[in-house]
Amino acid sequence: MNIAVKDLQGNSQGELQISEALDRFETLGTKLIGTQAAHEVITAIRAARRSGTACTKTMGEVAGSGKKPWRQKGTGRARAGSFASPLWAGGGVVFGPKPRDYSKKVNRKVGRLAFQKVLSKRVAENALIALDEMKMQSHKTGQFVQVLKDLGLYGEKVLFIASMKDDINENFCLASKNVQKVKVVGSATVNTYDIVAYPKIVVTRKAWSDLEGRIITK
């Protein structure tokens, strides 16, 4: 499978060959391959983003004296042994949250399978656009918006993937910062969740070569 390569003005610059290793995920009878792996990886990524800092005090941690509020008998009130009782306002919390680590371990092979699955899904949906390079002469946001219009992506959620070596410049990164629903990432750091979260993917030739190196086992 080949995908047309364009420049920032939308002009054709040749074709980009897609590896056959991605075809097996979208053929008849194999569409479920990698689905569970993708679910596990996305769940792990989202879990790792949780701060896990929620904290409540138990009965033993609430500030205050340990004095008994009133004597056990003779007052006509229910017996009470502590001001820190969970039944009282300002008292401790029963089974409340404590700081914890929500991260989950995902095996390397599962992660690679998940990345292959979501990337092949975007290719099958014709949601992948290839660019020769991502270099702009100006950092003006208006010029970047014009690039989106020329590529037919204006108003879409778009993920730009570059190799971050020599096929992207600072102007492109600066111009894209103020545009909503647009994200620029490196081919070495893009993950499964990024591919799923953005319906349109724009990738450079070199970045695609890097991505294939991540998903194709030797």
pLDDT one-digit tens code per residue, 115-156: 999 998 898 888 999 998 899 999 999 999 999 999 999 999
Percent of the chain with pLDDT strictly greater than 70 = 94
Query: Residue 174: is its pLDDT beyond 50?
Result: yes
Task: Tell me the C-alpha to C-alpha distance, in Å, between residue 184 and each of 113, 159, 216.
Answer: 23, 6, 23
Q: Are β-strands 158-162 and 200-204 bridged in parallel, bridged antiparallel, or unpaired?
A: parallel
With cut-offs at 50, 70 and 90, classify the pLDDT of residue 82.
very high
pLDDT attached to residue 177:
93
| Least confident residue range of 16-25, 95-104, 130-139, 166-175 | 16-25
pLDDT attached to residue 68:
95
Question: 180: helix, coil or strand?
Answer: coil
Query: Residue 74: is its pLDDT beyond 90?
Result: yes
Tell how far CA 140 is from the center of its chain. 27
pLDDT attached to residue 23:
65
Structural domains of the chain, ranges and CATH numbers in brackets: 2-41+104-215 (3.40.1370.10), 51-101 (no CATH)
Report which of 124, 131, 183, 99 is spatially closest to residue 13, judged by C-alpha positions.
131
Tell me how far apart the alpha carbons of residues 122 and 31 are, in angstroms, rounded to a whole number: 13
pLDDT attached to residue 28:
47
| Least confident residue range of 2-6, 18-22, 156-160, 188-192 | 18-22
Tell me the mean pLDDT in the region 55-70: 93
Percent of the chain with pLDDT strictly greater than 90 = 69
Tell me the mean pLDDT in the region 186-201: 94
5-53 pLDDT, tens digit each: 888 888 888 888 887 767 666 654 566 788 999 999 999 999 999 999 9
Q: Provide the 8-state DSSP code for 181.
A: T
Q: Are β-strands 12-17 and 182-186 bridged in parallel, bridged antiparallel, or unpaired?
A: unpaired
**pTM of this structure:** 0.83
